[in-house]
Chain A
Amino acid sequence: MGTHLPSTEFDGTAVDDQREADAEAVMGEPPAQMVQLLGPDGKLGFDPVFTEYAEKVTPEVLRGLYADMAAIRRFDVEATALQRQGQLALWVPLTGQEAAQIGSGRASRPQDYIFPTYREHGVAYTRNVDLAELLRQFRGVSNGGWNPKDTNFHLYTLVLAAQTLHAVGYAMGIQRDQKLSAAHGSGEEAAVIAYFGDGASSEGDVHESMVFASSYNAPVVFFCQNNHWAISVPTNVQTRVPLSNRAKGYGFPGIRVDGNDVIAVHAVTEWALEHARQGKGPVLIEAFTYRVGAHTTADDPTKYRQSAEEDAWRAKDPLARVEKYLRAEGLADDAFFAKVKADGDELAAYVRRTTHDLETPDIRSAFANTYAEAHPLVAEELAWFEEYTAGFEGGDLPAGSSGQPAAKAGH
């Protein structure tokens, strides 16, 4: 560690924790404290602030969180298989991040609004997004498979960090709604969660979103999943300080939580949402976790990281520790885990079945949805397209056409 400049070099022994500790030492700061309640050993610890929130996670709730994590991991396996079998163009696996996503998603309330990036399948699951609908984007039949108004779970955003600003604007809207409704003696408290990753933390939009959130005291929780890899680039190229420390510069609380500890994630997120809903302003949560798999099905992690690092993180698996705890405390038995597995297989079967049936859209819907109001150029081009395709009626459609019969307009 002769140099303190960010480096992508990997010496084969250190894991990312160590590199971050080095960076922290350079800055003369103590290593970031990390909120952890349930460690990899399955033992429940104590935290002066968050234990109170963790106590709301009753055995029943914890079993539910475990079942959610198991379900979404099973879904992840199925979606990866569907991609390998050519049923999806691409898949973005989440394995390793189940606790960060299920814990935070389950801490949200229906009136809260969620802005995900593109890997938050676990959060989507907690918001009742139909997982088959979620696959539309990856099958290439939609750029957003669900209606966010139904679930308060926004569409995936692929341009990194763009959604963090939408989240702050949405939160500014909530503030105004509350003022308007307060005049009528009512008003629902709500907050927003903006998800992003360690890679996206370098985007300017994250900075601007935190500035705006701070300036207007917006009810928004920034939830950064530090999964340690932005495709092939490790976190220490993005930052020399713990990402949670950055909140200091904006003047609001920043908390690093063990992102593989579903109890701690749930507790910290619940606290942060409460903080935001009460008008106390934004919070940054850094969920310290790990992307066990590839960035996407097009990625090859063997080119840039060591399996020893992956193994070290597998030992901190988010599901294994909950299972240890539930079994040790006598809160769940074999029958419970068997049922969780069976439910997961059923979910996977459902997703497999419905993915095959996802309807290919008609390109006319793209004409229809480019603008909300009538647009003469779109109308002119659609008219040309109709005339052009009508010329093929009764015969073969030209190569590269939508493959839909022209009669099936619908728009």
Chain B
Amino acid sequence: MTTMTIAKAINEGLRETLASNPKSLLMGEDIGPLGGVYRVTDGLIGEFGPDRVVDTPLAESGIIGTAIGLALRGYRPVCEIQFDGFVFPGFNQITTQLAKMHARSNGNLTVPVVIRIPYGGGIGSVEHHSESPEALFAHTAGLRIITPSNAHDAYWMVQQAVECQDPVIIFEPKRRYWLKGEVDTAAPGRAEDPFKAHVLREGTDATVVAYGPLVPVALAAANAAEEDGRSVEVIDLRSISPLDFDTVTASVQKTGRLVVAHEAPTFGGIGGEIAARISERAFHSLEAPVIRVGGFHMPYPVAKVEEDYLPDIDRILEALDRALSY
């Protein structure tokens, strides 16, 4: 066991990948000598050279599009998109090309491209630097979408993403990059399925599902609820596509109540998908409607008011109150 930040864990995971797989390479803006704007790739260019850690021209479609070509040639590119709001120039390549290549080739071609995207708010930044666009990608078949919430998962999931034959987008909770945690770098971590949800805290009265940056918030809310005598189960989704409905269903069958929390706007979001599926799968177990906690239907607001936008402990507790009032 080693203690490290999420950023360091990804860095170590990438280092492992580069060392063990000669076909893997990193691509992105400022990922070379600077180590990326969040220093996630710090030191890697010195160790593996500019052919393996590639500072690209400033063009997101170019990064994704050339990564597709490299993958077709047998390489395993890991692309860094600098910020969530800057993925959109590459959206066409991701959705019309990357996601569909395996299907449209009748399974003849695989494009194992990994795209790392720091996402979410809470860092007091400027426009386009705090968004949570995961639902836009989850809606696209052919992509896999994962989002680690802790250092251990970050270390392993980035390596597992590179090994996956399908394209994988990793949404990295940027405001948690400096969150420290224990990482078990011994082999058993590799056996954990990156597309399965984890029950982080057991409970009997209600379930809170969260992922990425809101996992620590959900845990804190559950602890606060416990002081009021309420036993809350917390699930870290870890994977958004595929989404582990089995784990969520089993939990709801036990607790009868479900709150889903994410930073992204609730309308058309992952929470809505979970609510719909759970209402089908566990209708007779539900004691209350599934309640969503998330962003509002507005462009991500200016930094000085983002605290009013982002779900926090109180917003989750309020949702739990509502769920438990039925």
Contact = CB atoms under 8 A, between A and B. Distances in A.
B69 interface: yes
A369 B107 contact: yes
A50 B54 CA distance: 36
B19 to A, nearest CB: 16
Interface residues of B, number: 50
Contacts of A148: 105, 108-109
A162 B97 CA distance: 8
Interface in A190-228: 204-205, 208-209, 211-212, 215
A208 B60 CA distance: 9
Given A212-B57, A369-B107, A177 B73 contact: yes
Interface residues of A, number: 46
B3 interface: no
Contact of B104 (A155, A166, A173): A155
Interface in B31-85: 51, 56-57, 59, 61-62, 64-75, 77
A388 to B, nearest CB: 15
Given A166-B97, A179-B51, A205-B61, A369 B102 contact: yes
Contacts of A166: 65-66, 68-69, 72, 97
A168 B61 contact: no
A8 interface: no
A155 B102 CA distance: 11
Contacts of A204: 61, 89
B105 A371 contact: no
A147 interface: yes
Contacts of A143: 100, 103-104, 106
A165 B73 CA distance: 13
Nearest to A165: B65
A366 B164 CA distance: 20
Contacts of A174: 73
B51 A376 contact: no
Contacts of B164: 373
Interface of B: 22, 25, 51, 56-57, 59, 61-62, 64-75, 77, 89, 92-93, 96-97, 100, 102-110, 112, 141-142, 144, 164-166, 195, 241-246
7 contacts: A144-B104, A144-B105, A157-B97, A169-B66, A205-B61, A365-B107, A377-B242
- Shortest 8 CB-CB distances between A and B: which pairs? A169-B69, A165-B65, A173-B73, A169-B66, A208-B62, A372-B165, A143-B104, A170-B69
